[in-house]
């Protein structure tokens, strides 16, 4: 059986596919594969290991409904038409749990960078603007005993909360559909309404999946309700915030700063005003970019592929409903 991999992944995953006796073809060009190219490649293979940037919409899935399994090299799957994949009987896997620490580290890094205007001040050194000591210029914000607000307190949010609580004794509040009992017991976290989250957070960090409910959630109306001294952090998905509204919020002082690992669009254009603002810090979506996290993601994606091609349930499946109609699938 043959597997197509739409991007070069760590050798950990490729070796697992090889050891399972699977013939693997990897897209090695240094550019995003187009959807039509991906369709043409997928039609020649039995399984697909794709990226979160690949558009797995109804058109693609209908064209490639012969695939026995699709495994995605990411946790998020807002690029996938899950209902169509399920209807066509295609099990679809992702890579949860293994990048929580790495992404939480990036959120923590952005919080620190924004609080001390670190990226902007580094650029001043490069441009020869270090200048003389000025006691009243380029002052940052201290984080000790401040309030961390988390929109979506799941695994990544929990890891960020642990870091902030331990390093700066920050109070933790959060907005979820349900209570996070572990966070409440271990970190004295407090569940609040969305309005309270906006009003009370000194740092507000986003850790939710992109959905119709969360897309564009952080817009001008929301930013106006936040503290003028607050910092907004987004390491989830760029479409969760309205970027032009965020720029306006920073320019007009509705909030104090912003740190982003995700933007809309990606890649961000080099003339984006956020890149030159003193109170903004932007990274190129590197939340999972550690050796350990990427190796683990490759392992999970390969494991999903191997299970699917051997007629077994995927260890990490986003559409388990696909198995309800097929009694031949084993555990």
pLDDT tens figures, 45-64 = 999 999 999 999 999 999 99
pLDDT tens figures, 262-309 = 999 999 999 999 999 999 999 999 999 999 999 999 999 999 999 999
Task: List the one residue out of 15, 24, 75, 71 whose CA is nearest residue 45.
Answer: 24
pLDDT band at 324 (very low <50, low <70, confident <90, very high): confident
Alpha-carbon distance of 245 to 238, in angstroms, equals 13
Please count the CA atoms within 13 angstroms of the CA of 96 that sit on its side-chain side.
11
Q: Is 237 a catalytic residue?
A: yes
Q: Is 116 a catalytic residue?
A: no
pLDDT at 328: 54
Alpha-carbon distance of 169 to 306, in angstroms, equals 45
Q: Which of the following is catalytic: 237, 294, 313, 316?
A: 237
pLDDT tens figures, 140-168 = 999 999 999 999 999 999 999 999 999 99
Alpha-carbon distance of 80 to 92, in angstroms, equals 9
pLDDT at 133: 92
pLDDT tens figures, 232-270 = 999 999 999 999 999 999 999 999 999 999 999 999 999
Higher pLDDT, 32 or 328: 32
Task: List the one residue out of 78, 94, 101 whose CA is nearest residue 157.
Answer: 101
Q: Which of the following is catalytic: 116, 175, 285, 299?
A: 285
pLDDT tens figures, 61-103 = 999 999 999 999 999 999 999 999 999 999 999 999 999 999 9
Q: Is 163 a catalytic residue?
A: no
Q: State the pTM of this model.
A: 0.94
pLDDT at 327: 47
Q: Which of the following is catalytic: 37, 195, 252, 266?
A: 266
pLDDT band at 325 (very low <50, low <70, confident <90, very high): low
Alpha-carbon distance of 285 to 76, in angstroms, equals 13
Q: How far is CA 329 from CA 62, 156, 312, in A?
A: 22, 32, 5
pLDDT at 331: 56
Over its C-alpha atoms, the chain yields an Rg (Å, rounded) of 22
């Amino acid at each position: 059986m043959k597997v197509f991999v739409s991007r070069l992944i760590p050798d950990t995953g490729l070796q697992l596919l090889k050891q399972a006796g699977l013939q693997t073809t990897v897209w090695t060009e240094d550019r995003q594969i187009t959807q039509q190219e991906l369709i043409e490649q997928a039609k020649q293979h039995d399984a697909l290991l794709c990226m979160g940037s690949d558009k797995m919409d109804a058109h693609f899935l209908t064209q490639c409904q012969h695939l026995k399994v699709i495994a995605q090299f990411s946790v998020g799957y807002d690029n996938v038409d899950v209902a169509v994949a399920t209807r066509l009987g295609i099990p679809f896997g992702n890579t949860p749990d293994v990048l929580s620490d790495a992404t939480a580290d990036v959120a923590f890094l952005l919080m620190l960078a924004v609080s001390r205007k670190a990226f902007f001040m580094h650029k001043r050194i490069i441009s020869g603007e270090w200048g003389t000591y000025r006691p009243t210029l380029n002052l940052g914000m201290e984080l000790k005993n401040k309030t961390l607000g988390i929109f979506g307190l799941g695994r990544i949010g929990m890891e960020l909360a642990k870091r902030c609580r331990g390093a700066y004794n920050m109070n933790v509040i959060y907005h979820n559909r349900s209570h996070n009992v572990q966070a409440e017991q271990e970190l004295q976290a407090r569940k609040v309404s969305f309005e309270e989250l906006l009003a009370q957070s000194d740092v507000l960090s986003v850790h939710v999946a992109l959905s119709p409910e969360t897309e564009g959630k952080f817009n001008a109306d929301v930013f106006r309700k936040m503290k003028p001294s607050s910092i907004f952090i987004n390491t989830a998905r760029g479409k969760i915030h309205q970027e032009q509204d965020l720029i306006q919020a920073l320019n007009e002082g509705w909030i104090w700063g912003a740190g982003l690992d995700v933007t809309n669009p990606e890649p961000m254009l080099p003339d984006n005003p956020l890149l030159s603002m003193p109170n903004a810090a932007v990274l190129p979506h590197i939340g999972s970019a550690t050796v350990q996290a990427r190796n683990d993601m490759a392992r999970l994606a390969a494991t999903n592929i191997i299970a699917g091609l051997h007629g077994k349930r995927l260890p990490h499946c986003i559409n388990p409903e696909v198995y309800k109609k097929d009694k031949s699938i084993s555990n």
